[in-house]
Amino acid sequence: MISEEIEKLLNEGASKAGYEEKLSVSFSNMPKLCDYQCNGCFALAKKYSKKPFDIASEIANSIEQSDLFEFDVAMPAFINIKLTDKALSKIANEYLNDEMGGVEKHKERQKVILDYGGANVAKALHVGHLRSPIIGESLKRLYKLMGDDVIADVHLGDWGLQMGLTELQLYEDGVLDYYFKGEGEEPVITLDMLNEAYPKASARKKDDEKFKEEADAWTLKIQNKEQPYYSIYKKIREVSVKEIKKHYGELGATFDLWYGESDAAPYIDRAIKIIEDKGLTRESDGALVVDVAVEGENIPLPKKSEDEEQRYKNPMPPAILKKYNGGVLYATTDIATILMRNEMYKNVDRIEYIVDMRQKNHFVQVFRVCKMSGISPEEQELLHIGYGTMNGKDGKPFKTRSGDTIKLEDIINMLVEKAGDKLKSNGVEYDRDLALKIGVAAMKFGDLINNVDKDYVFDLDKFISFEGKTGPYIQYTAVRINSILNKANLEGGEFFISNDEEREIIRSILKLNSSYEICYKEKSLSSLCSATYNLASAFSTFYNNHSVLNESNINIKQSYISLLRLVKNKLKQALNVLAIEIPEKM
Ligand code: ARG
């Protein structure tokens, strides 16, 4: 890495000047002045009671001269480092011949399970299931690029009350007569039936206590695998999963495991026994619970309460393992899933959950129970990566005009339609696959450029623009480079810097490369998105000022071709992590 090379020279110089403390460099705050800077002389000055500027000068003067880096001292006491053209050219040629384009894998490989997607069986996919597959897919690709061994699990919600509610509603609507009354033919359960049954049942349960109890009982029968409840459930699951696979596929999210909560069912009794054996459970109103509160910790209630002060004085509620009727809940299946994962895969270093921030307390409860009981070994990291809400332009969670939650399918259709319009106005023939690629890129980039934990506004017109910080702009840049390379049909040669715009491009590549590590640490793709945009934009400036195809000097032309290939590789690598495809044309 360049920064490491610079640090080596710097520290040799410091040591010659009599300072053994390790100095480090970072990207310059003033890119016009220099490329890297070292701020370490201030701390040395304190320690040695000398003037910071004097120390900086002593060190800079002791650094061995090189034709790659220029070391300079600037007020009050910075050591500034500039890369020479020779260095910039050397870096570019090295990156061109490196499979990773200069991005370094971690020396230690971690085993990671990523839990994202999380769609619920029997319920229509809605906007709440959009961010998780987008962020999760990109984190998976990032971790893999950096050398981790990653297993992606979609963890479908398929073992909760919605199953009982949906089945009971279908029964009441007469769809299930074949099973319960032995009448007619075996029904084919369709997606439309589910899309009608669940919302109806869900609305009813709110003010029909009897119906809710009945649905609880049906859910329990399914969980106990009683017939015909269980086999009907299997059919509902099948129809639902097919739909979920289709939409997640369109978003480019792929999973190694298509498990759901139900797959953890065989581990539930054992998980509960482990927790009971540790003496962690107690009974509360017929339910089986585990206290996880920590002394002095206050959990703000989600909603405003009458007594505002009281709102901030609440302990973490206990985790509920079993309901009054013996049914299991969301926390139970999550705990059992951790047991399952640890038995199926040995030595898992981290399990990360990409789930709405509003589920924070749920994960605190689950993680505490797993740590207290030893279901998750001490050294294993359990992490909830909570994401913010996607809002409409009014700043409130994105809804349809009538105030309903938006279905994922509708969002995908909106993306395709908008991208299709854009293509048409650019004179490109409409093609759904092409429009989907562009629409999805717009959505993903518009999402990922924000820090994961921040809310953001879904502004499709802005996201879809072919200019500015958008997915389509970067796609467009890549398409344009491909087209120039095809037209030129020329082997690249040794790259050498011949203008300022090229310097800017190589500098953006250095920053892009370092953004991978930043994203890895922050568990957010925001830095990568910005750095990718900056590279695309540096390329556009170059392209507007220099004609690659009309260049008459063959050495320069071949050097340009190499530069284009490098930029193309770097954009491709970044877009691959962002799970954005490069279209053939735009
Ligand atoms: N099905 C859940 C929901 O829709 C998300 C699942 C997240 N993953 C997990 N292991 N809890 O809210």
User: What confidence score (pLDDT) does residue 305 get?
Assistant: 65
Ligand 1 atom nearest residue 120's Cα: 1
Beta carbon of 520 within 6 Å of any ligand 1 atom: no
H helical segments located in 146-264: 161-172, 177-180, 191-207, 209-223, 229-250
Beta carbon of 133 within 6 Å of any ligand 1 atom: no
Tell me which residue has tokens 């061995």.
64
Residue of minimum CA distance from atom 5 in ligand 1: 118
Beta carbon of 353 within 6 Å of any ligand 1 atom: yes
Q: Are 474 and 532 in contact (CB under 8 A)?
A: yes
Q: Which residues are 456's β-sheet partners? A: 390
Q: Are 360 and 386 in contact (CB under 8 A)?
A: yes
Q: How far is the CA of 322 from the centre of ligand 1 (A)?
A: 18
Residue of minimum CA distance from atom 7 in ligand 1: 118
User: What confidence score (pLDDT) does residue 404 get?
Assistant: 80
Q: How many C-beta atoms surround the C-beta of residue 211 within 10 A?
A: 17
Q: Which residues are 112's β-sheet partners? A: 150, 350
Q: 235-280: per-residue pLDDT in tens?
A: 999 999 999 999 999 999 999 999 999 999 999 999 999 999 999 9
Name the burial class of residue 487, with classes exposed (0-12), middle (13-18) and buried (19+) by CB atoms within 10 angstroms of its CB.
exposed
Q: Are 62 and 13 in contact (CB under 8 A)?
A: yes
Q: How far is the CA of 259 from the centre of ligand 1 (A)?
A: 12
CA 514 to each of CA 108, 145, 263: distance values in angstroms, whole numbers, following the listed order? 18, 13, 39
CATH for 2-83 is 3.30.1360.70
Domain 408-577 fold is: Isoleucyl-tRNA Synthetase; Domain 1 (1.10.730)
User: What confidence score (pLDDT) does residue 65 get?
Assistant: 86
Contacts of 529 (CB under 8 A, 6+ apart): 445, 448, 449, 469, 578
| DSSP 3-state of 403 | coil
Cα dihedral 295, 300, 302, 304 sign: positive
| DSSP 3-state of 322 | strand
Is the predicted pLDDT of residue 559 greater than 90, yes or no?
A: yes
Ligand 1 atom nearest residue 330's Cα: 11
Q: 488-504: per-residue pLDDT in tens?
A: 999 999 999 999 999 99
Sorted by where each begins, the domain ranges of the chain are 2-83, 161-250, 261-387, 408-577
Contacts of 64 (CB under 8 A, 6+ apart): 9, 12, 13
| DSSP 3-state of 321 | strand
Beta strands 36-38 and 26-27, pairing class:
antiparallel
Beta carbon of 167 within 6 Å of any ligand 1 atom: no
Confidence of residue 298 (pLDDT cuts 50, 70, 90): confident
Pairwise CA distance, residues 179 & 227, whole Å: 9
Pairwise CA distance, residues 403 & 397, whole Å: 10
Beta strands 287-290 and 319-322, pairing class:
antiparallel
The stretch 35-61 carries a mean pLDDT of 93
Contacts 24+ apart (CB under 8 A), 100-108: 100/145, 100/573, 101/509, 101/513, 101/566, 101/569, 101/570, 101/573, 102/509, 102/513, 103/145, 103/146, 103/513, 103/516, 103/573, 104/1, 105/145, 105/146, 105/147, 106/146, 106/147, 106/148, 107/147
Ligand 1 atom nearest residue 363's Cα: 11
Q: How high does pLDDT run on average in the chain? A: 94
The stretch 434-463 carries a mean pLDDT of 96
| DSSP 3-state of 428 | coil
CATH for 261-387 is 3.40.50.620
Q: 146-194: per-residue pLDDT in tens?
A: 999 999 999 999 999 999 999 999 999 999 999 999 998 999 999 999 9
Confidence of residue 34 (pLDDT cuts 50, 70, 90): very high
Pairwise CA distance, residues 219 & 490, whole Å: 66
Pairwise CA distance, residues 532 & 576, whole Å: 11
Weakest-pLDDT range from 72-81, 139-148, 473-482: 72-81
CA 221 to each of CA 228, 230, 513: distance values in angstroms, whole numbers, following the listed order? 9, 7, 54
Confidence of residue 345 (pLDDT cuts 50, 70, 90): very high
